[in-house]
Amino acid sequence: MLNIAVVGCGYWGPNLIRNFNALPGCRVKTICDSDSSRLEHLKTLYPLVETTGDFDRIIKDDKLDAVVIATPVRFHFEMAKKSLEAGKHTFIEKPMASSATECKKLIAMAEKKRLVLMTGHTFVYSTPIRKIKEIVESGDLGQLQYISSRRLNLGLFQKDINVAWDLAPHDISIILYILNEMPVSINCQGKAHVNPNIEDVTSIAMDFANGAFVTIQSSWLDPNKIREMTFVGSKKMLIYNDVEPIEKIKIYDKHVEAPPHYDTFGEFQYSYHYGDMCSPYLKMTEPLKVECEHFLDCIKNQTKCLSGGEDGLAVVKILEASSKSLAKGGAQIKIL
């Protein structure tokens, strides 16, 4: 039986507590938060779980096997560092840390102590995203030409990170999972409207060596909740709408072709292909449940995480590049 501690009981922490608490082979032994009222509320839901406002108490508890960190980003590195130093497997919500340097230090510590270090990239555990990866790798869409992603809503405003660091990790982790490669360069533009120091609207553009072009729009200032990704291939197009209750993936048999050669301008005509639309059947499961099960499996079997430290580092590298581009008015930043 693995004993788990969940640190941070605000927006996302209770979902982690619920899922880990329901899984066989583990139990949530302790939950930690600086807000005593949150702890009191969760104690009514989980009366057998210990509560504390002292993170060091968790670190010193020899009966705890793993620590799950769901706090604001500014606390991720120090908490994860202490957790790993104490010999505890560590799960960190996205983004993994505030810098690539911090990520690398955590990865080195986990490797040295042979501990599982996992990042909460929940969407790579979702049925639709895994299906999209399968479709892309099958070649059904043809050569991927561009991906457009929109993650927009009204709020939740963060105090320590901008909207790109808050929302874009989802889209970035999805794109890296599906393409299985890093971009070569990043451009990012954005504006701060509510807090003059924190951008609440951003647009990231990523170039890939294989020719694919990706755009990611993130906003806390949109009246509608939009969670949509468009994948355009040389043969077909695919739209993933996470807000759609049933047909989350729609594949369109559409594409455009330019003539291979022509002698006069009058002979030049684009060829548009319009075919059917289909929506594959998806057997839905809660991605967070799959993610939590995977974390436990990695601990028990010492297997590689699907969203391990290196994956967390890759996302943070892109976020850092986007911040540099923002500071330089949208300049192109190479990914090293």
Q: Is the pLDDT of residue 42 over 70?
A: yes
Mean pLDDT confidence for 78-94: 98
* pLDDT value of position 268: 57
Q: Name the β-bridge partners of 119.
A: 92
Does pLDDT of 262 surpass 80? no
Count of Cβ atoms closer than 10 Å to residue 334 Cβ? 10
Token couple for 14: 């209770």
Average pLDDT (127-134) is: 98
114: left (phi over 0), alpha (psi -120 to 50) or beta: left
Average pLDDT over residues 249-256: 89
pLDDT at residue 19 in the model: 98
Tokens of 163: 């909207």
Average pLDDT over residues 271-280: 84
Domains for the chain: give ranges and CATH numbers: 2-122+287-307 (3.40.50.720), 124-285+317-334 (3.30.360.10)
What percent of the chain stands above pLDDT 70? 96
pTM: 0.94
Residue 336 above 90 pLDDT? Answer: no
Question: Mean pLDDT over all residues of the chain?
Answer: 95
Kindly report the number of other CB atoms within 10 A of residue 306's CB atom. 17
Contact (CB, 8 A) for 168 and 204: yes
Q: What average pLDDT does this structure show over 150-155? A: 96
| pLDDT tens profile 286-330 | 999 999 999 999 999 999 999 999 999 999 999 999 999 999 999
Can you give the pLDDT at residue 273? Answer: 74
Is the pLDDT at 18 greater than 90, yes or no?
yes
d(CA 93, CA 63): 23
Query: CB count, 10 Å around CB of 311?
Result: 21
What is the band of 264 on the pLDDT scale with cuts at 50, 70, 90? low
Span 89-95, mean pLDDT? 98
What's residue 266's pLDDT? 54
Q: What is the mean pLDDT of residues 98-112?
A: 98
The answer to whether residue 267 scores a pLDDT higher than 70 is: no
Residue 270 has pLDDT above 90, yes or no: no
Helices and strands, number each (H, E), in the chain: 9, 15
Asked if residue 255 has pLDDT above 80, the reply is no
Q: What's the confidence (pLDDT) of residue 277?
A: 92
With beta carbons less than 8 A apart as the criterion, state whether 118 and 92 touch: yes
